[in-house]
Amino acid sequence: MAIITLLTDYGESDHYVAAVKAKILSINPVIRIVDITHQVPSCDIAYGAQVLKSVFQHFPRGTVHLVGVNDNGQAGDRFIALQLEGHYFVGPDNGFFGLLSDQLANYAVDINMLKPIDTTFPGRRILAPVAAQLASGKALTDLGPKIDEYKRMLPRQVKANKSLISGHVVKVDHYGNLVTNIEKRAFQVLCKDRPFTIKVGRESVSRIQNQIWQVEAGDLFVMFNDLGYLEVGINQGNAEELLGVGYDSPVLLKFEGE
């Protein structure tokens, strides 16, 4: 059964999400629709991309991912569909898709050029029909003219040497936990059983837990999450609020000795 995922900044209190689903199902009522989230902060491309990056590869190859984040954004933004890492993506060409992967799309098309639609609700009028057609088996090459480039925002890069890994908070989750871009494999390569200190805001810690419950309620924990990224939080608390640290804040991991 074909799958379309939805990730938007539409919220849950209005009709927008239901209207997009209704359009998809009116084209093909047997498509399976999976909500990733509709609570992306308004127009926050970086946050939305981090959420989708964390999960899209867990869906079957060939899944269609509809992205409605800042889809009424900049003047001149195109609406595109692309194939990337075995998946299809449909959404505005506003830089979002460049944040999903270091790889370039295998193929990308402008989906609103052959028969342009001028609308205040592109999620329903433009994105939903294209997503439904892709999920129903229509070829990407039939949906619009090929484009050679799409906007690629540059994510924050980790800097590392023998004594230091310098990263940033790339996402604050629902619990107030701080997800960073520091990968476990980089830590393992550089650590070599040396003592280390992790500095986040005003706090410094020198131990990494495997599970949250290994610290007492109200205490700070640091662990590598299920995706292999360093995560900082407070057991039964909100690290963003209590540490005064949020998106794009620096996180430093310093090693001692050689």
Look up residue 79 and give its two tokens: 């609406």
Going by pLDDT thresholds of 50, 70 and 90, the confidence category of residue 157 is: confident
CATH topology (fold) of 159-255: Elongation Factor Tu (Ef-tu); domain 3 (2.40.30)
For 39: left if phi > 0, alpha if psi spans -120 to 50, otherwise beta; the answer is: alpha
Q: Domain segments of the chain: what residues?
A: 3-142, 159-255
- Residue 10's contacts (CB-CB under 8 Å, 6 or more residues apart) are 16, 17, 20, 38, 68, 123
Q: How far apart are CA 82 and CA 64, in angstroms?
A: 10
- Residue 98's contacts (CB-CB under 8 Å, 6 or more residues apart) are 150, 151, 152, 153, 154
Query: pTM value?
Result: 0.86
Mean pLDDT of the residues in the chain: 93
Q: Report which DSSP code applies to 126.
A: I
CB-based contact 99:153 (threshold 8 Å): yes
Q: How far apart are CA 236 and CA 216, in angstroms?
A: 9
Q: Does domain 3-142 have CATH number 3.40.50.10790?
A: yes
What pLDDT, in 10s, does the model give residues 60-115? 999 999 999 999 877 678 999 999 999 999 999 999 999 998 899 999 999 999 88
169's enclosing H/E stretch is strand 164-172
Q: Report which DSSP code applies to 144.
A: S
